[in-house]
Chain A
Amino acid sequence: MSMIEEMPIADTSAGTQDVIRSAKPVSRFRLVLSRLRSTPRFWVGIVGLGAIILWAVFGLVPNAWNATDLDVYNMGSSPTALHWFGTSDIGEDIYAQTIVGLRKSLVIGLLVGPLAAIVAGIVGAVAGYLGGWWDRVIIWFIDLLLVLPSLFLFILLSPIFKSLSWVALIFLLAGFGWMIMARVIRAQTMSLRERDFIKAARFMGVDTWTIIRRHVLPNVSSLLIIDATLGVGGAILSETTLSFFGFGIQAPDVSLGTLLSAGQGAAATRPWLFVFPAAILVFTVLSASLVGDALRDAVDPTSGVNRD
């Protein structure tokens, strides 16, 4: 630790005389941003994710086919100039279907990630700050869900959700996606609780909920942002796995999972039915997790700093 102490610049948050005089304060946010900018992983991820989202939005424009069109003259066609990703047995355009599926998967991922992070933040902060019985009950509940693989619960609950719209799946995935992060937030909150600024607030007479809202949650917000980002990829993975086995998105809705499920049988003989959607899926999840990982490194100043 003496090394850190010896190098004032390592404490990048310490303002210099110039900073104090300068009109624009260097916020933590800008600091994280500058660290992010120097991480190649971040650029790979954010450019990838941006490209995927743009593609999902505008990808159908140049294509001649819609997802529901059937080209009866080109059934089971391999990729051609007409059908960029080939067609299925009944003449569906795989390119168009992939984009439609991607849209659904992206929407699910982008909603579930932040939603689960919010739940994780609230539950973790309450457990960590209140301690005692609150904490014990919450931790037991979390542990229970960790013993019981959530995939199995999803499958078990699927009969209910099949009858509802695909939007219900979002809440299902968010409802089971917060546990690990809640534990992390709880641990963080427990150490925050011992920090002097929280003690100070307590000794001033600030009430518990105000402390959680005003001091705890903002101070774990960086973790929550990371979690939300990483959760995007995780949610897409869960959704596709469920849909692949027929427990998630139901026809006529299309997601990457249902598409992969349809293409699975022909994976070895007509790989385009499987490989294109699979590659898009992997690329999407990979981009999201690269951004999340780069964020984690940027927010935690000690992570990734190898002092030797």
Chain B
Amino acid sequence: MIGFIVKRFINYAILSAIATLSAYVLASLILNPAGRYLGRNPRPSDETINAILNGLGVNPHTPVVERLWTWLVNLVTHGSLGDTIHNTSVISEMTARAGTSLRLLILGTIIAAIVGVVIGVWGAVRQYKFSDQAISYASFTVLATPSFVLGILLMIVATFVNSTLGIQLINFTGEYTAGLDGGWWVHFWDRAAHLLLPTISLALMGAAGYSRYQRSAMLDVLSADYIRTARSKGRTRGSALVRHGVRVALIPMSTYFAYSFATVLAGAAVTELVFSWHGMGEMLVQAITQSDINAFTGAILFNAILVLIAGTLSDVVYAALDPRVRV
């Protein structure tokens, strides 16, 4: 079992590394960091621009392979991901933003997974009954809604709620209210109020996807012979489904979790942007619009590490759930 997880971990680690490196190469080929200085007034001299680009290690005149090598050496020897075009280190930029993104991601995924599994099982057990139909149509609708639309719609609803109640109950711009006075409790509450809509938005998207998948996994299990065996021993249908069915139907979910995680990351990035959070998603998009190769690679590395952790975690869960992979 440990061997299995180690193997999967190594697999993910290599994938993450290749993803990051190819992101660096791609970004170097596509983005034009010099363009930013060419448009300035007065236009800096070519030497100045070259000097700046060399300082960042992104001068297009240096071959990509050489720059990649320098970047790698820096990473390994100094643990540095280079500097952003604003001359801050990418690492410090990331540490400032990572917490924001992680809070949203972790809460959102956990809620999504739990809600998705529960309503998926419920839908499968009540197949074609009204509740199943309602859940199905609801999740199809959520899945048909782009995350930015979902976020904005939630904002419209929140504005309506706030104006109806006459107080600012739900906050939805930014991560916290700037310049707020009060103790930690006030701050905590403020952050929680800001967290509400983005989390709902992300969790809704996730739950809709998970519930469809869990429903079909559960439907496969419903007709399985061992459910019949469990009933033939003297279990009622309900108890057989819970004790034998759900337990087995969770196994494919653990794999699906790893596969869907990249989608969740993209969804989280969009959600951050919509709610004007200064998270990793914003960093990534800004890096591209500002042609910041180092910052972009840093953001991709962050995502790759998250995929690595999520993938390994799902394999641990998989091995724990399914005795057939334990060796």
Contacts and interface: CB of A to CB of B under 8 A. Distances in A.
A and B touch in the complex (CB under 8 A): yes
Interface of A: 1, 41, 140, 143-144, 146-153, 155-160, 180, 233, 237, 240-241, 244-245, 260, 264, 267-268, 271, 274-275, 278, 281-286, 289-290, 293, 302-308
Given A148-B262, A151-B269, A152-B266, A282 B144 contact: yes
A278 B149 contact: yes
A278 B153 contact: yes
Contacts of A146: 259, 262
B30 A159 contact: yes
A155 B286 CA distance: 10
Given A155-B288, A303-B219, A241 B148 contact: yes
A156 B296 contact: yes
A144 B141 CA distance: 29
Nearest to A304: B219
A149 B265 contact: yes
B32 to A, nearest CB: 8
Given A144-B19, A148-B23, A281 B146 contact: yes
B311 to A, nearest CB: 8
B270 A290 contact: no
A20 B162 CA distance: 69
A274 B150 CA distance: 12
A152 B22 contact: no
B216 A147 contact: no
B70 to A, nearest CB: 21
Given A244-B148, A267-B156, A286-B144, 12 more contacts: A147-B304, A156-B31, A159-B288, A160-B30, A268-B156, A271-B156, A274-B156, A283-B144, A285-B143, A289-B144, A305-B223, A308-B237
User: Could you say which of B144, B265, B266 has the most chain A C-beta atoms within 10 Å of its C-beta?
Assistant: B144
Contacts of A271: 156
A149 B219 contact: no
Contact of B141 (A149, A157, A264, A286): A286
A197 B287 CA distance: 53
A140 B156 CA distance: 43
Interface in B284-315: 284-285, 288, 296, 300, 303-304, 307
A101 B45 CA distance: 44
A149 B156 contact: no
Nearest to A45: B140
Contact of A240 (B18, B146, B227): B146
Contacts of A284: 144
Contacts, number: 131
Given A147-B15, A289-B140, A289-B143, A307 B222 contact: yes
B269 A290 contact: no
B253 interface: no
Given A147-B16, A303-B219, A308-B227, A281 B149 contact: yes
A214 B262 CA distance: 35
B273 interface: yes
20 contacts: A143-B15, A147-B16, A147-B304, A151-B269, A152-B266, A152-B300, A152-B303, A156-B23, A156-B30, A157-B26, A159-B288, A160-B30, A237-B146, A244-B146, A264-B148, A267-B155, A274-B152, A282-B141, A293-B140, A308-B237
B223 A149 contact: no
Given A152-B300, A244-B146, A308-B237, A147 B19 contact: yes
Contacts of B141: 282, 286
A26 to B, nearest CB: 25
B267 to A, nearest CB: 9
A281 B300 CA distance: 30
B127 interface: yes
Contact of A264 (B16, B152, B223): B152
Which 5 A/B pairs are nearest by Cβ-Cβ distance? Answer: A285-B144, A307-B223, A286-B144, A151-B266, A149-B266
Contacts of B237: 308
B225 interface: yes
A245 B156 contact: no
Contacts of A307: 222-223
Given A146-B262, A152-B300, A282 B31 contact: no
Contacts of B284: 152, 155
B266 to A, nearest CB: 4
A147 B307 contact: yes
A290 B139 CA distance: 11
Contacts of A150: 266
Nearest to B148: A244
Nearest to A143: B15
Nearest to B284: A152
B229 interface: no
A180 B144 CA distance: 18
Interface in B135-185: 136, 140-141, 143-149, 152-153, 155-156, 159
Contacts of B219: 303-304, 306
B222 A308 contact: yes
Interface in B224-252: 225, 227-228, 237
A295 to B, nearest CB: 14
A120 to B, nearest CB: 15
